[in-house]
Amino acid sequence: MTSAKETQTALRPAERATLELRGLYERFGYKKYRVSQFEEYGLYLQYQSFLPGGRMLTFTDLDGRLLALKPDVTISIIKNARLPEGCTEKAYYIENVYRESKTDGSFKEISQMGLEYLGAIDDYAVAETLLLAQETLRCIGPAWLLEISHMGFVGGLFDALGLGEEARRDVLESLTAKSRHGVGAAAQRAGLGKAGAAALETLCTLSGGFAETAAQAEKLCLSEKMRTALQELKTAAAALDDLEHVRLDFTLQGDMDYYDGVMMCGYLEGVPGPVLAGGRYDSLVKKLGKQAGAVGYALYLDELERLPVPKREYDVDVLLLAEKDADTAALLREVRRLTAEGLRVRVEHTRPCELRCRRVCRFTKEGVSEC
């Protein structure tokens, strides 16, 4: 008999992930959100700075409106969310987005699954989101890693050192590349002294196991904003059940215009780049006219196709070779009986050459017999 677990294992990684994760997210109170394939171009144009790539696929609707194939799901969810003060909304989605490729300048259709926790965001909301990111990676593969960071910690250091907007972006570029030399050069261009440059260069070393890296980060705290950010990370980490697969990495950075709190990035063995990314983005929600916070992440389903697909030993459990004049109703009853037992059944009149069968049976007027 083929079990439900065996059936799921034989699915492609993205198919199995969506099947398992829907159940996980719904058990935590998230509802499936369906987004239109396109929105008015003006919505995305207004918040273009938050979108990956600079261009969008557009077309003119029959009523003359200029529409865009959606390059982002989060903006659409925030736009349509009802967020009374003090309340929350929890949504997950399985959608395709259309974005400009960073490598060849063409447009790509990208399959994503993700969740958004919107509204009154507190320490619990952040901890739950990180837990679900952890569980998302764990249900896909045994060898996984979740990296976390906090824009408040890095931004707090920039504030304490008096860095301007241009200098901040200069430092972030080298920090993301994990280039201590580049960070030092950026500090020099910003006119910082030795102490300020050393503090920025220390950020490049703050990457590793959570407990030891948090202890090192504590020594670097120069402001209350940095201490608050670090404490938020500690509170969330204390609620996780597997810190062995969690790294604290302050070289993990995102767009300062988008993220303003905790950040996360997930990896799986066998996939060269991140398969999951997200964080807290209160500032985006406020720019969309909602007085609320938000935290969430996206899982890149296309990247999961790089994972190996387990091969079944057999294509079907039972091959029923039926006589051409076999009673159709009786044959269908037999198929239903076998499938009710969890078996995969295929009916043919002659045996296909390349079909791998666990059992081969013959169906005649006299009944079923093993071949």
For the residues of 165-192, what is the DSSP string, one character each?
HHHHHHHHHHHHTT-HHHHHHHHHHTT-
Helix (H) or strand (E) holding 337: helix 328-340
| Sign of the dihedral through C-alpha 343, 349, 350, 354 | negative
> In this structure, what token pair is assigned to residue 170?
């200069």
Asked whether the whole model's pTM tops 0.85, one would answer no
pLDDT score at 133: 97
> In this structure, what token pair is assigned to residue 296?
């969430």
Chain segment 91-128, per-residue pLDDT in tens: 999 998 888 776 677 788 889 999 999 999 999 999 99
Cβ count near 239 (within 10 Å) = 13
Helix (H) or strand (E) holding 14: helix 13-27
pLDDT score at 228: 96
Contact (CB, 8 A) for 287 and 335: no
Rg (alpha carbons) of the chain, rounded to whole number = 26
The Cα 359–Cα 362 span in angstroms is 10
Helix (H) or strand (E) holding 42: helix 41-46
Helix (H) or strand (E) holding 369: strand 367-370
Contact (CB, 8 A) for 302 and 284: no
The Cα 68–Cα 241 span in angstroms is 42
pLDDT score at 218: 95
The Cα 42–Cα 341 span in angstroms is 54
> In this structure, what token pair is assigned to residue 212?
């030891």
From residue 270, alpha-carbon distances to 37, 113, 134 in Å are 31, 20, 17
Strand partners, 69: 38
pLDDT score at 255: 62
For the residues of 106-145, what is the DSSP string, one character each?
-EEEEEEEEEEEEES--HHHHHHHHHHHHHHHHHH-SSEE
CB < 8 Å & 24+ apart, contacts of 64-67: 65/40, 66/40, 66/41, 66/42, 67/38, 67/39, 67/40, 67/41
For the residues of 226-262, what is the DSSP string, one character each?
HHHHHHHHHHHHHT-S-GGGEEEETT----TTT--SE
pLDDT score at 10: 60
Q: Are strands 31-32 and 88-100 parallel, antiparallel or unpaired?
A: parallel
Give the up-direction half-sphere exposure of residue 303: CA atoms within 13 A in the CB hemisphere. 20
Round the average pLDDT of the chain to a whole number and report it.
88
Strand partners, 288: none
pLDDT under 70 in the chain at which residues? 1-10, 49-54, 102-103, 254-257, 310
